[in-house]
Structure 1
Amino acid sequence: MALPAILQGLRLPMVGAPLFLVSGPDLVIAQCKAGIVGSFPALNAREAEGDHPMLEIWLQRITEELDRHNQAHPDTPAAPFAVNQIVHRSNARLMRDVDICARWNVPIWITSLGARPEVNAAAHDAGGIVLHDVINNTFARKAIDKGADGLIAVAAGAGGHAGAQSPFALVQEIREWFDGPLALSGAIATGRALLAARVMGADLGYVGSPFIATREAQAQPEYKRMIVEGGAEDIVTSALFTGVSGNYLKPSIARAGLDPDTLPAERTEMDFRDGSSKPKTWKDIWGSGQGIGAVKAVVPAAELIDRIAGEYRAALASLAQGGV
């Protein structure tokens, strides 16, 4: 099935994943101008009590700057952007944020931690499409049944809240019954990995952790350094910090005074009422996927996308010539 019009014409078949506390307008704008879908979690946009909603301020800036870019570069317009909505029952801001996104006609809505028909309906009424992230085939079916337009398969190796299944198994099972838009998340940090995702049956690669180490990212310098210096062996999987299994940087856990190799089994209850699933105790424990071995320096987002694009083209050419 052909992709929805909003996902056609991208420079690369790639979505910049929404990164908790890291993705903001600077990163989203840079990603979109470089030709991939940029995104941010709605809960990243925070304001003091009584102030105008920061989410609206962010959406106005992103919309107006991308419009100016498109007017100045009609032959190479920016890619569309996406906003991630956490639809977990504890997110007290959800419907307020949904109303704001609807008013600004957000083109792509990414939903996580539950499937809500009313959120999907609001997105559709505003002319948008909904991509729902899932960690298994059962959740994938539920999401489509409740009105999502497409899926993000979050496989083993993804950063943050990650699934445990092999990307081969997860994509294979979803593609047995679903021919709509499908993105794959899980250690995609190179052009070869992006091509592999497409060969497996995904339409798009969902790339997150490499963008933490970009100049536009709202990450602390130490966080960026750990991404650059880390590799797959520096990632630990635990449900301790948010109540949901996720992948985190071992050095950040050690800095918090815990042994990353012998973490306790207790789970923190997930709670988004204050805009965060992380208690203040864990605010400096940082998520990351297993693909960060490909990240060698902190660079502008456009440079990272250029690198992946070059690798992607080279991999395609190699395969066409019978290489690997």
Structure 2
Amino acid sequence: MLPPILQNLRIPVVASPMFIVSGPELVIAQCKAGIVGSFPALNAREKDGEPPLLEAWLTRIAEELDRHNQANPDRPAAPFAVNQIVHRSNARLERDIEICHRHKVPIWITSLGARVEVNAAAHDCGGIALHDIIDNRFAKKAIEKGADGLIAVAAGAGGHAGPQSPFALVQEIRDWFDGPLLLSGAIATGRAVLAAQVMGADLAYIGSPFIATDEANAQPEYKRMICDSSAMDIVTSSLFTGVSGNYLAPSIRAAGLDPDALASADASSMNFGAGGAKAKAWSQIWGSGQGIGAVREILPAAERIDRLAAEYDRAKAEMARL
């Protein structure tokens, strides 16, 4: 059984939080269209001496969604989520937890380490905590430390993708866990959303298709590259963050590197403090999942969600006839 906050979505989809790309405009559009919108807390970066931008983002999102709900009582917005990077190099974590707790963020997504205190903060303000994992061992640790649900990041996902097949990963988790389970990995169509549910997941976790939307905080060249690329253009490398991730080969070539001959880096090179020098150096290396072959044009987020919903409904109807 899903917790109430994840029930009654238009379609069973949570939009994943994307580095730089996800901001208030995209989150608000996603929630108004009926799916959970999310953003990384670290995307809200203020200059030295300025008040925390995260405060302003959370206030804006809450106020705009409240106005939408008052004007559309028969079509309320979906809830939103904030992603916390709990890696030790994130010097802002404690501050951002306090801000999210005070603003009563309804859904907390944690990455790169399971932390008891972050889950406790989410619960204390009435929220739920979902933790992303790449294998069954990390899944068990996350639940032991108080997460309410899991996000299985399987092969083909954008960002820090895992190496395992979604069939294997979901199967192993469902052997012992019957709580909320989201699946990430090359999901870009409504049919793929339904397939995730058939495999045993409750919801699909979708990122890359939303890069090619009007509201995404992405460079026009990045959005166009998503539309012009396919699974064959995705390269897996640890060079850029210290953790294995999936990236667009054309952006790697544009940076003067050979995507077929990239060096490796280890987890000790990860740095989420003030953006990290390496993050700035690789700012033109663009992440993406393998599902982008289904993305061929830049659209408003609401229209992309309309298409997902129509595809999902058609797929369900086709399955019913089998």
Q: TM-score range by the shorter chain?
A: over 0.9
Q: Does 1:269 align with 2:262?
A: no
Decide whether the 8 Å contact of 1:157 with 1:186 is kept in 2.
yes
Q: Give the AA of the match of 1:224.
A: K
Alignment partner, residue 206 of structure 1 = 205
CA offset at residue 274 of structure 1?
Answer: 1.1
Q: Give the AA of the match of 2:282.
A: W
User: In the comparison of the two structures, how many residue pairs are matched?
Assistant: 321
CA offset at residue 279 of structure 1?
Answer: 3.1
Q: Alignment partner of 2:91: what SS?
A: coil
Decide whether the 8 Å contact of 1:13 with 1:204 is kept in 2.
yes
Alignment partner, residue 150 of structure 2 = 151
User: Aligned ranges for residues 114-153 of structure 1 at < 5 Å?
Assistant: 114-153=113-152
Alignment partner, residue 306 of structure 1 = 306
Q: Give the AA of the match of 2:107.
A: I
CA offset at residue 70 of structure 1?
Answer: 0.5
Q: Alignment partner of 1:222: what SS?
A: helix
Alignment partner, residue 90 of structure 2 = 91
In the TM superposition, structure 1's runs of 4+ consecutive aligned residues that sit over 4 Å from their partners are: none
Supply the distance in 2 between the matched residues of 1:122 and 1:288 (Cα, whole angstroms). Answer: 31
CA offset at residue 266 of structure 1?
Answer: 4.1
Q: Give the AA of the match of 1:129.
A: I
Q: For residues 75-102 of structure 1, what are the alpha-carbon distances to aligned partners after superposition, in whole Å with 9 as ceiling and x for unaligned? A: 1100000000000011000010000000
Stretches of structure 2 that go unaligned for 5 or more consecutive residues are none
CA offset at residue 262 of structure 1?
Answer: 1.1
Q: For residues 55-75 of structure 1, what are the alpha-carbon distances to aligned partners after superposition, in whole Å with 9 as ceiling and x for unaligned? A: 000000000000010011111
Q: Alignment partner of 2:250: what SS?
A: helix
Q: Decide whether aligned partners of structure 1 residues 7 and 278 sit closer, same or farther in structure 2, where only a CA change above 3 A counts.
A: farther
Supply the distance in 2 between the matched residues of 1:294 and 1:201 (Cα, whole angstroms). Answer: 23
Supply the distance in 2 between the matched residues of 1:114 and 1:252 (Cα, whole angstroms). Answer: 29
Q: Give the AA of the match of 2:156.
A: G
Decide whether the 8 Å contact of 2:136 with 2:173 is kept in 1.
yes
Q: Alignment partner of 1:159: what SS?
A: coil
Supply the distance in 2 between the matched residues of 1:242 and 1:157 (Cα, whole angstroms). Answer: 17
Q: Give the AA of the match of 1:109.
A: W
Alignment partner, residue 24 of structure 1 = 23
CA offset at residue 280 of structure 1?
Answer: 2.2
Q: For residues 158-186 of structure 1, what are the alpha-carbon distances to aligned partners after superposition, in whole Å with 9 as ceiling and x for unaligned? A: 00100000000000000000000000000
Alignment partner, residue 234 of structure 2 = 235
Task: State TM-score, norm by structure 2.
Answer: 0.98
Task: State TM-score, norm by structure 1.
Answer: 0.98
Supply the distance in 2 between the matched residues of 1:181 and 1:140 (Cα, whole angstroms). Answer: 12
Q: Does 1:226 align with 2:225?
A: yes
Supply the distance in 2 between the matched residues of 1:174 and 1:97 (Cα, whole angstroms). Answer: 30
Percent identity over the alignment is 74
Supply the distance in 2 between the matched residues of 1:188 and 1:132 (Cα, whole angstroms). Answer: 19
Q: Alignment partner of 1:274: what SS?
A: helix
RMSD of the TM alignment (CA)?
0.9
Q: Decide whether aligned partners of structure 1 residues 213 and 277 sit closer, same or farther in structure 2, where only a CA change above 3 A counts.
A: farther
Supply the distance in 1 between the matched residues of 2:37 and 2:153 (Cα, whole angstroms). Answer: 17
Supply the distance in 2 between the matched residues of 1:150 and 1:236 (Cα, whole angstroms). Answer: 29
